[in-house]
Structure 1
Amino acid sequence: MTSGKKDIDRPLGRDAKPSRKSRGRSFGKGSILLGLAAVAVVGVSLAVSLRERPFRTPVPVAVTEPVETTTVAETKPEATSVRTGAPDAAIVKVTPQESEPASGNGVIVIRDPSAMGQHPRLAHLPDRALIEESEAGPLPVRQPGGRRPFDVYARSWSGARGARIAVVIGGLGLSQTTTQRAIEALGPEVTLAFAPAGNSLSRWMQTARKAGHEIILQVPMEPFGYPNENPGRNTLTVDSGEGQNLSRLRWALSRITNYTGVMNYMGGRFTADEGALEPVMEELSKRGLMYLDDGTSARSKAQDLASSLSVPFAAADVLIDPIGGNRRPAPADILKKLDELERIARAKGYAIGTGSAFDETIDTVAGWANEVAGRGIEIVPISAVAFDPEAR
């Protein structure tokens, strides 16, 4: 009876305490298990501490994270609307890495750049598969499977319908102060062009890419009036011959990495000579690079050669900061040129403007870029408005 009374008075859900003998037996088993676990942890910790750490030394060249690539390749996301490559191409439904032309209606099906590009956090690191080591230094090269620097290093954009403007600001790397100012003041949508004769180019490339900019490389080419008008060191000239010009081109190409293409610096005479320009275009095609014509020479053969040699191509519509007798552009004149760019973009869907890294240009473009979206225009990287023969 006494035992039964205790059971009745006990709160619901609370079991009777085990006997002292039972508790002692359970505690002994737990102690053995805890002891074995402790020995295992100590053993594993010792093995890890003695093992060489694989990431102790940073690797200067890295490939896009395999996890990202595997995820894209295996999950096969649904088709999305994309507009890239040819500026006049219609927006179409595509799946990653699809590039087959639609049958019958002439619509160009364009690859989704997100399937080939870098993760934004790795944009400052060269893709090892796109680097060729040479006597000149690291050179960009296309992979046998078709991946190109033009694809991988391109900055993404919305793909939305509407007017688009690409602005390219060049001459970076020559002045440390100006280069830093341009990277910090200009929005990431603005494309930056580096001069191969600049200083600390690898550092500035990484800084620009971390800030989100697409970058291109300026190549000095012979103008009319050369050498009185001199673009600088290792200028490509009509009379130098193919071998010397290719050597000078490769020197320029090796100065930085992670760029989508090249742009002529001066070069009115050189770009007008098909025989001199053709080997250059062949080299760019081999290396998977775009060519941007600054648009200052009506005699340039670049567009025809780019089309025949499968080189992505773009040509500037407006020089936004022409310099006068005082050798400095006026902000009011720059704004007029930017207004002209807007008119062209509304008329044909896109426009391209080029300028130099003057303080006046940087400040004016930075202010204008903050306002232009409100007028229904998107600032895009230069790769977004380049015609790509391989996207057909």
Structure 2
Amino acid sequence: MAETVDDLSAPLGKKTARSKRRLRLPFTATQALAALLGLFLVTFLGFALFNHDPLGGEPVVHVTLRQAGDHNAKDGKAAAGEKAPAASAASAVQSAKGHTAQTASSDQKRITIIDGSSGARHDVVIPGDGNSENVASDAAPAMMTGINPRLLEKSRYGMIPVVADGLKSFNVYAADADRAKAAKMPVVSIVVGGLGVGAAKTVDAIMKLPAAVTLAFTPYGADPAKLAERARAQRHEILLQIPMEPYDYPDNDPGPQTLLTTLGPEQNLDRLYWHLSRLQGYVGISDFMGARFVATEPAIQPILREAAKRGLGFFDDGSAPRSAASAVATALAMPFGKGDITIDAVPTPGEIDQALAKLEELAKERGYAIGTASALPVSIERIANWVKGLNSHGVMLVPLTTAMLKSKSS
């Protein structure tokens, strides 16, 4: 009836818009989203309550434990996918304990598994495979040959020098020299530094320079300890260069663990221990790019005091005109030397020859002289050539320790 009324009352020529029925849901979009979130929350709570995982959220490490029999496997490799889950730590411990007695050796590795809930510790011994090359590259250097173990003590970074039974590294590792002869004639010493970084140039210096030339190693490089060991095998005396703060630091940065004037004594000593552990068998330490540091007495004094306590000498390369190292070393009564002439300040054959001639003249005037150089090919060549005629000039080439002792007595 309503439709009939509408048709009669509608204007002629126009159709009546009939009302349309709309489908309405029994809930809104907001209500649907809230229901989904509630369902997710209930599911999560149910999983957390009824799933027993006491180590949930704890970091997990899977370690492959290779037993002695594994070495007989094809290609010497363990079967792929064999891993020791953290949940079986107790059984791994028992297995490792039973295997330790058979495979006890210096290259065994021990890991500690800590239970995240109870705090219980389980030690697991992993038998070594006899291959020392598996040691991580950042581990402390192994003991070098020809090193007296009594002159070393363990630090948190590795083995560092110590005085034992009156023996000091300065005396024990000093290169051989005819000191009686050196006391009667002018002597020169040459210290070639910056070694250890760049194996080729380091080997050139070791093999081409006379044994009486002292070699100074930085603590950096892929394996400075191995190169230092080779230098000692060729009867070179060695120094350890300690990176110290230059005036233009940090624009000119010597490298990691640099000793800084802005750090306290304890922090700098900790950094010193890191450097001391990088290699062994050195007679003393030297500054490396450290003009500001050696000129700051409150900074250099604790370092030299520690070096003296550990039986080391100190060599000042002479790059800092206002260095306080000499006065501090004298007060500590420690062996000390200072570079007089930088031989390759201008690295050309002519300039190097002139510097060597000046070094020779200074030795004749004062009785001793110390020159410094880097391991440039031209420097090595000119020094090696100059040494050949040195004895005929009435001057003796000696290791740094001999010159340091002579300078102290003169």
What is the TM-score of this pair, normalised by structure 1?
Answer: 0.65
The residue aligned with 1:150 is 170
- What is the deviation of 1:296? 1.6
* 1:371 corresponds to 2:394: no
Aligned to 2:316: 293
- Structure 2 unaligned regions, length at least 5: 1-104, 107-143
Against the structure 1 CA distance between its residues 387 and 189, is the aligned structure 2 distance closer, same or farther, given a 3 Å change threshold? Answer: closer
- 1:305 alignment partner in structure 2: 328
Code of the aligned partner of 2:325: A
Alignment correspondent of 1:356 = 374
Q: Distance in 2 between matches of 1:247 and 1:167?
A: 30
Q: CA 1:391–1:334 in structure 2 vs 1: closer, same or farther (change >3 Å)? A: closer
Report sequence identity in percent: 39
Could you tell me how far 1:310 is from its partner in structure 2? 2.2
Match of 1:321 among 333, 344, 351: 344
- Name the aligned partner's letter for residue 340 of structure 1: K
Deviation string, structure 1 residues 262-299 (Cα, Å, up to 9, x no partner): 11011111111111111101110110100000112121
Any conservation in 1 of the 2:155–2:273 contact (CA below 8 Å)? Answer: no
Query: What is the DSSP-based 3-state SS (H/G/I as helix, E as strand, rest coil) of the residue aligned with 1:255?
Result: coil
1:219 to 242, 251, 269: 242
Cα distance in 2 between the residues matched to 1:198 and 1:383? 25
**1:149-183: CA deviations, max 9, x gaps?**
00000012112111100000011110011111111
Alpha-carbon spacing, 1:388–1:240, altered in 2? closer, same or farther (3 Å)? farther
Q: Which has the larger radius of gyration?
A: 2
1:165 partner letter: V
- 2:400 matched residue in structure 1: 382
Q: 1:166 to 1:388 in 2, by over 3 A?
A: closer
Q: Secondary structure at the match of 1:386?
A: helix
- Which position in structure 2 is the counterpart of 1:8? none
- Show the counterpart of 1:137: 158
Runs (4+) off by over 4 Å: 387-392
How far did residue 205 of structure 1 move? Answer: 1.5
Q: Which moved more, 1:283-292 or 1:382-391?
A: 382-391
Q: Is the 8 A contact 2:368 2:407 kept in 1?
A: no
Does residue 345 of structure 1 match 2:363?
yes
Change beyond 3 A, Cα 1:128–1:389: farther
Q: In the aligned structure 2, how far is the partner of 1:124 from the partner of 1:316?
A: 30
Match of 1:230 in 2: 253
What is the DSSP-based 3-state SS (H/G/I as helix, E as strand, rest coil) of the residue aligned with 2:251? coil
Deviation at 1:191, TM superposition (A): 0.4
User: Relative to structure 1, is the Cα distance of residues 380 and 132 closer, same or farther in structure 2, using a 3 angstrom cutoff?
Assistant: same
1:180: which partner in 2?
A: 203
Deviation of 1:390 after TM superposition, in Å, equals: 10
Cα separation, partners in 2 of 1:260 and 1:388, compared to 1, 3 Å: farther
1:284 corresponds to: 307
RMSD over aligned CA atoms reads 2.1
Report the alpha carbon displacement of residue 387 of structure 1 after superposing the two structures with TM. Answer: 4.3
* Equivalent-residue separation in structure 2 for 1:307 and 1:136 (angstroms): 30
Residues 212/363 of structure 1: CA separation in 2 closer, same or farther (3 Å cut): same
Are the equivalent residues in 1 in contact too, given 2:197–2:224 (CA < 8 A)? no
1:265 aligned residue: 288
Query: Once the 2 structures are TM-superposed, how far is the Cα of residue 371 of structure 1 from its aligned partner?
Result: 1.7
Distance 1:180 1:284 in 2: 28
Q: 1:388 to 1:167 in 2, by over 3 A?
A: closer
Q: Which has the higher contact order (CA 8 A, sep 6+)?
A: 1
Q: Return 5+ residue gaps in structure 1 as ranges.
A: 1-56, 59-122, 324-328
Within-5 A mapping of 1:11-90: none
Question: In structure 1, how many angstroms separate the alpha carbons of the residues matched to 2:376 and 2:272?
Answer: 26
Read off the aligned partner of 2:279 and give its amino acid letter. Answer: I
Tell me by how many angstroms 1:240 deviates.
1.4
Q: Aligned in 2, Cα 1:124/1:367: closer, same or farther, shift over 3 Å?
A: farther
- 1:248-267 alpha-carbon deviations (Å, 9 max, x no partner): 11111111111100110111
Distance 1:319 1:165, change over 3 A: same
Taking structure 2 as the reference length, the TM-score comes to 0.63
